[in-house]
Every structure is written in structure tokens, then in C-alpha cells.
């Protein structure tokens, strides 16, 4: 057996900040060297950030990525880190194919480089390109067909990228055929609820398939709607978990591996190998070192404590909100605080993400605001120590009413639009990022006012069903209780019936089914794409199914104009779910009238 100490640098790059991302590579390579690592790996598209979307199609951006890669290799050597091999994701291009219709402009590639002694020794381009859910990589990249395998201290190491692990065949089957002992997988794998268990099972199965230990490094942090949760891990060739990193935090996962040393000389060169997916890949073998490292004392393998389900979801919301504000240059946020559960949870997420001094809450009472809505909002401001301000809107609404004659829903929505105007005006004046407070149940059914409560720059609970909003609020208060702190959300905000308070005595249930009935139906229709007949067969009331389908489909135009927010489910409104606004399909050939 041979020892090898590997470091997985689970870091938070920023899209487009090539210089800053290169700084992270140098900084964390230095940390890995200080830990005595023999190899360090960084996430997918590390130098450019991920996902880069149409930036991949700009020649200037590809040029900058390639230049940054070369400069980073030389910089590592110049700072005394050249002897430590580094695997880093970047944006490459193929220059050996002619442009053709249907090919991404410039033939970009999602690639990984092996850097050593100031040079790029090998390059690997992602073989399997995902084209589902939030991924659209056929639009941006061309696949690779080469697999470098380098020998390090007598261990043969292969590198693949993210989707290459999720698809059967391809590089994993070639790695088995080539006899590598270690597979390093670099990833930009977004968070979804319960995905960590799926990843672990996948890594274990593919390690067994490849007959190699598997080191999986994932990025962390928020990028627009996506949140990356880290959760890097290492499994041995039998699929047993031997080390695991933090969730939702930067981390250097350093672990000592016991691997079977290759006997005999390395046949340096190239050879074609047929993959199990029907493609052929060229295996490129190269040598860094054949001698094992001097014997050393192994350190205990790290295993970060797992977060429970609601803690994971809450951490994703906080991470997404924090990074959206930070990476877009916002020093503070502002929101309309009604005293209801949605704005209360949004304020709490913002406070945990940015700190209370950077959160501004505006109370906007109208003629129909209940006394407890004001007192509950004031109570939350006091509990959390955030900035609070009251701007009564009754007179402003009355002034509108004197000039235009509005009735019914139009008059109700005027209140929401006045609130939106005030919040956006304060944002303009002070440079705050406006947080929108709507939840997924409301967004699904269109229970929001365009240019009113839907106005804003970021929506922290956009992908959170109403029933989960209550669960998260209770969980967050329980966490505070357990630490001997004041619960951040007033109990009355959690227990009172939800209401938009746009008319006397209004409740959400006047317009919507009870949320414990609505949310499971929304989950089946939105998340699982079940049609009308399947929904009825699943036990949902037929009349309610027809009503909810109409509500959800009719609100598509509203959702197109809604701010981005952190994705926590397999199918969020935004990158995941893309339906036509103009459509008469209602789940069956003969829709109900």
C-alpha cells in the first residue's frame, strides 16, 4: 500500500472575477501545502466561477480564462508552491474543429487542468454535458474525448468533472479499464433538499464501478438562484465513506489515503479506449513521480457533522441571500415588514446572512392593518436589533383614490403597489437591495401583486412552500431557545392566520385552500409535473385540482417578472421550470370549463 495525502479546496468563487478566483487558488494551495498535501483539487470552473451562461460564448472571456490559467500556474511556482500538483477548473476551447451550425460559438469547453512546476501538464474537458433542470450545457460547451491519467508517488490518478459521475459509462468505465487507483471529481453541484444523500450513494456506486477511491470536491456559495452547499467527500474503492467536508462553508478537506501502488514502469503516451457509453476516449498517461513519499504519521480523517433537514434548507437561504448581496456590491437590504410569517422569516434570514445593522425594515400600515400586525412587526425589530421605520400609507392611498376611481381587487392592490413604490424609492435613495417576501405557494397561485409585493431585487423564500415557511420559523426559534437567546420571530407571527390585510377581515383562505391541502397538490403539479388525471388518481380533490391548475398556469406571466431567489427544491420557478405564458393546455385533452 502507498500513502497519499489529498486536499479538497471547497471554496466560493465569483463568476467573472478571474483575478479574485486565482487569488483563492493560490491562497488555498498554500494552506494545502502547509497541511502536507501531495495533491490539491479545486471545484469545477474555479477560475471563471460557475455557471457562466453566455459568457462562455464570448471569445474575450475564453481568452481571459486561458491567460489566467497560465498566469496562475506561474504564480504558484513563483510563490514556492510549484511542487504541489493542483487540479483546477477553468474555461477552455477546442481549436481543432471547424465552426458549424448547432455548435456553441468558439467551441468552448468546461475543463480541468493539472498544474505543476509552473506549467499546465494536462487538460481534461467534461465528457457528459447535462442538459436538464438548471443545466443547459449543450448550449455552451462541446464535450471532451481525452482522459489524462497521471502517476503521482506511484498512484495513477484520473480527473473527471461533475456530470461525468452522474452518467453511466463514459469516463468512469474508461478509468476502470485503465486501472487508475484514484478518481478526482471536481464539481459545481447545486444544492437541492436531500441531495447530499443522493450524492453519497452515487459516489459510492461509481467508486465501486471504477475500482478506485473517489475524491469529490464541490464548490460552496451562492450564484444568482443557485446555492452550492460544499459537502465534499471521499470514498474508498469499496464505496465506504472515509472523509466528509462542511456544508455551506468554505473548507479544506485533507485526508490520508491508503492506495495500492502501481507496480512496473509507466507506459507514457496515448491509447484509445472504448467507453461503456459507446464513445471512444483517448487515455493520455503522464508521469509526475513514481517513488512513494517518505513514510509519515497519518492524521485522523475529518468528518463534518451533518445538518438536519430544516437546518440545511435554512443554511441554503442564508447562503444565497448573503452571496447575492455581497457579490453584487450591496452593503444593506430593505424589506416591507408586515408582522406576518413570510416577512418575518425573510427578515430573519437577512439578519443571519448580513447582520442586524445591515437590515432595514419598513412598517407600512394601511386602513386595514390590524393592531397586532404593527405590534408584531415592532416586536421583531426589537428582538433582532435591525433598523425599523414606520411609514403609514393610508393617506397616500387616499390621495390616489381621489384621482382615480378603483374598486374591488384593483383598490386592494393599490395598497400593495404603494408599498412597493415606497420600498423601491427608499432603495434608490439609500442603495439598499430590496428583498421580496413572497413564498412559493403564493408565487405558484398568483397570490401576489405585480409592482407591489412582488417588486424587489432578491426573493429569499421564493422556493419555499408556505407550510415549510412555518416549519423554518419554528425551527429557527427553537435553535435560539436552545442557545439561550431570544427567539427572533414573535410567536404571534407564527400562530395567527395568514392575511394580506388589503380589506377588512381578509384571510388567505378566502382566496386559497388551506396550505396543508394546497402545498401537497402544488408539490405534485409543479415539482413532479403530474397531469390532471394523475393528480386526481393521487387522491387530490378533482374540483380543487382543476382550480389550482388554472391558478398556477394563469400566473406564469407574473413569475416571469419576479426577482431571483435561492433554489432549494428540484424544480424552482426560474431556471428549472420554463413554460409558455400563452397556453391553453390545462392538464387534459378536454379541460374543464
Architecture of domain 309-560: 3-Layer(aba) Sandwich (3.40)
Helix (H, G, I), strand (E, B) or coil at 444: helix
**Band of the pLDDT at 43, cuts 50, 70, 90?**
very high
List where CATH 3.40.50.620 sits in the chain. 309-560
Q: pLDDT by residue (tens digit) across 443-483?
A: 999 999 999 999 999 999 999 999 999 999 999 999 999 99
DSSP 8-state assignment for residue 252: E
DSSP 8-state assignment for residue 90: E
Ramachandran angles phi, psi of 10, nearest 5°: -85, 95
**Band of the pLDDT at 95, cuts 50, 70, 90?**
confident
Burial zone of 430 (CB within 10 Å; 0-12 exposed, 13-18 middle, 19+ buried): exposed
Q: For position 592, what pLDDT does the model report?
A: 54
Lowest mean pLDDT among 47-51, 255-259, 411-415, 558-562: 411-415
Catalytic residue among 35, 53, 83, 162: 162
From CA 170, how far away is CA 174, in angstroms rounded? 7
**Band of the pLDDT at 105, cuts 50, 70, 90?**
confident
Is the bond preceding residue 51 a cis peptide, omega within 30 degrees? Answer: yes
pLDDT of 386 over the 70 cut: yes
Q: pLDDT by residue (tens digit) across 495-510?
A: 988 776 566 776 777 7
Please list the residues that pair with 114 across neighbouring strands: 87, 122
* Cβ 121 vs Cβ 150: under 8 Å: yes
Q: For position 328, what pLDDT does the model report?
A: 97
* Cβ 12 vs Cβ 232: under 8 Å: no
Q: pLDDT by residue (tens digit) across 512-547?
A: 889 999 999 999 999 999 999 999 999 999 999 999
* Cβ 114 vs Cβ 57: under 8 Å: no
CB-CB neighbours of 483 under 10 Å: 8
Q: For position 107, what pLDDT does the model report?
A: 92
Catalytic residue among 27, 35, 44, 299: 44
Q: For position 138, what pLDDT does the model report?
A: 83
Q: For position 45, what pLDDT does the model report?
A: 97
Catalytic residue among 126, 462, 466, 571: 126
Burial zone of 146 (CB within 10 Å; 0-12 exposed, 13-18 middle, 19+ buried): middle
Q: pLDDT by residue (tens digit) across 54-75?
A: 999 999 999 999 999 999 999 9
Which residue has better confidence, 95 or 440? 440
Helix residue spans in 328-465 (DSSP H): 341-354, 371-384, 394-403, 408-430, 440-445
Catalytic site includes residue 27: no
CA angle 26/30/36 to nearest 5° reads: 145
Residues above pLDDT 90, as percent of the chain: 77
Rg (CA), the chain: 27
DSSP 8-state assignment for residue 91: E
Cell numbers representing residue 332 in the block? 444593506
Q: From its phi and psi, is residue 466 left (phi > 0), alpha (psi between -120 and 50) or beta?
A: alpha
**Band of the pLDDT at 134, cuts 50, 70, 90?**
confident
Catalytic site includes residue 371: no
What residue has cell string 468554505?
Answer: 250
As a residue count, the chain comes to 593
From CA 531, how far away is CA 548, in angstroms rounded? 12
Sign of the torsion angle spanned by Cα atoms 127, 133, 138, 141: negative
What residue has cell string 485533507?
Answer: 254
Question: Is 1.10.760.10 the CATH number for 2-287?
Answer: no
Q: For position 369, what pLDDT does the model report?
A: 63
**Band of the pLDDT at 265, cuts 50, 70, 90?**
low
Q: pLDDT by residue (tens digit) across 222-253?
A: 999 999 999 999 999 999 999 999 999 999 99
Lowest mean pLDDT among 125-134, 153-162, 250-259, 415-424: 125-134
Please list the residues that pair with 257 across neighbouring strands: 4
Q: For position 317, what pLDDT does the model report?
A: 98
Closest to 452 measured CA to CA, from 339, 328, 558: 558
Residues above pLDDT 70, as percent of the chain: 97
User: Between the CA of residue 484 and those of 44, 307, 385, 487, what are the distances in Å?
Assistant: 41, 20, 17, 9
List where CATH 3.60.110.10 sits in the chain. 2-287
Catalytic site includes residue 312: no
From CA 184, how far away is CA 207, in angstroms rounded? 10
Helices 195-210, 171-178: crossing angle, 10 deg rounding = 40
Q: pLDDT by residue (tens digit) across 18-40?
A: 999 999 999 999 999 999 999 99
The mean per-residue pLDDT over the stretch 279-299 comes to 90
Amino acid at each position: 500500500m502507498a500513502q497519499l495525502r489529498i486536499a479538497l479546496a471547497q471554496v466560493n468563487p465569483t463568476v467573472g472575477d478571474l483575478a479574485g478566483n486565482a487569488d483563492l487558488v493560490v491562497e488555498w494551495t498554500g494552506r494545502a501545502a502547509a497541511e502536507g498535501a501531495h495533491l490539491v483539487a479545486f471545484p469545477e470552473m474555479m477560475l471563471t466561477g460557475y455557471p457562466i451562461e453566455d459568457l462562455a460564448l464570448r471569445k474575450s472571456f475564453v481568452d481571459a480564462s486561458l491567460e489566467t490559467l497560465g498566469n496562475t500556474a506561474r504564480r504558484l511556482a513563483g510563490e514556492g508552491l510549484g511542487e504541489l500538483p493542483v487540479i483546477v477548473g477553468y474555461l477552455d476551447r477546442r481549436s481543432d474543429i471547424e465552426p458549424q451550425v448547432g455548435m456553441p460559438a468558439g467551441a468552448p469547453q468546461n475543463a480541468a487542468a493539472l498544474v505543476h512546476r509552473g506549467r499546465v501538464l494536462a487538460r481534461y474537458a467534461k465528457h457528459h454535458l447535462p442538459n436538464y433542470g438548471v443545466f443547459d450545457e449543450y448550449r455552451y460547451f462541446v464535450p471532451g474525448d481525452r482522459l489524462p491519467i497521471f502517476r503521482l508517488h506511484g498512484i495513477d490518478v484520473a480527473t473527471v468533472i461533475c456530470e461525468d459521475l452522474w452518467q453511466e459509462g463514459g469516463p468512469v468505465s474508461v478509468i476502470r479499464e485503465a486501472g487508475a487507483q484514484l478518481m478526482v471529481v471536481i464539481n459545481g453541484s447545486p444544492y437541492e433538499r436531500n441531495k447530499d444523500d443522493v450524492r453519497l450513494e452515487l459516489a459510492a456506486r461509481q467508486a465501486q464501478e471504477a475500482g478506485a477511491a473517489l475524491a469529490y470536491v464541490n464548490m460552496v456559495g451562492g450564484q444568482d438562484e443557485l446555492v452550492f452547499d460544499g459537502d465534499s467527500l471521499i470514498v474508498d474503492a469499496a464505496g465506504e465513506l472515509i472523509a466528509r467536508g462542511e456544508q455551506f462553508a468554505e473548507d479544506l478537506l485533507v485526508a490520508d489515503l491508503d492506495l495500492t501502488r502501481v507496480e512496473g514502469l509507466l507506459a507514457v503516451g496515448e491509447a484509445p479506449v472504448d467507453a461503456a457509453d459507446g464513445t471512444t476516449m483517448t487515455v493520455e498517461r503522464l508521469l509526475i513521480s513514481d517513488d512513494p513519499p517518505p513514510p509519515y504519521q497519518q492524521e485522523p480523517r475529518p468528518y463534518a457533522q451533518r445538518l438536519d433537514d430544516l437546518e440545511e434548507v435554512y443554511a441554503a437561504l442564508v447562503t444565497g441571500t448573503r452571496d447575492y448581496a455581497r457579490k453584487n456590491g450591496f452593503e444593506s437590504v430593505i424589506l416591507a415588514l408586515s408582522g406576518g410569517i413570510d416577512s418575518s422569516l425573510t427578515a430573519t434570514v437577512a439578519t443571519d446572512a448580513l447582520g442586524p445593522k445591515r437590515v432595514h425594515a419598513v412598517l407600512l400600515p394601511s386602513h386595514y392593518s390590524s393592531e397586532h400586525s404593527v405590534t408584531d412587526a415592532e416586536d421583531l425589530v426589537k428582538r433582532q436589533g435591525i433598523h425599523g421605520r414606520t411609514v403609514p400609507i393610508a393617506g397616500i392611498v387616499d390621495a390616489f383614490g381621489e384621482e382615480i376611481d378603483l374598486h374591488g381587487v384593483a383598490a386592494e392592490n393599490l395598497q400593495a403597489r404603494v408599498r412597493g413604490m415606497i420600498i423601491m424609492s427608499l432603495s434608490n435613495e439609500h442603495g439598499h437591495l430590496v428583498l421580496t417576501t413572497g413564498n412559493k405557494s403564493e408565487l405558484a397561485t398568483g397570490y401576489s401583486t405585480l409592482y407591489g409585493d412582488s417588486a424587489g431585487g432578491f426573493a429569499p423564500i421564493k422556493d419555499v412552500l408556505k407550510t415549510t415557511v412555518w416549519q423554518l420559523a419554528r425551527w429557527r426559534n427553537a435553535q435560539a431557545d436552545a442557545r439561550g437567546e431570544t427567539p427572533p420571530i414573535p410567536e404571534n407571527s407564527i400562530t395567527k392566520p395568514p392575511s394580506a390585510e388589503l380589506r377588512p377581515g381578509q384571510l388567505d383562505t378566502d382566496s386559497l385552500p388551506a396550505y396543508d391541502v394546497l402545498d401537497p397538490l402544488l408539490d405534485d403539479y409543479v415539482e413532479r409535473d403530474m397531469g390532471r388525471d394523475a393528480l386526481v388518481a393521487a387522491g387530490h380533490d378533482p374540483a380543487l385540482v382543476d382550480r389550482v391548475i388554472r391558478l398556477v398556469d394563469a400566473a406564469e406571466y407574473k413569475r416571469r417578472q419576479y426577482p431571483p431567489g435561492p433554489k432549494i427544491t428540484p424544480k424552482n420557478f426560474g431556471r428549472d421550470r420554463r413554460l409558455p405564458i400563452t397556453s391553453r393546455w390545462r392538464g387534459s385533452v378536454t379541460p374543464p370549463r
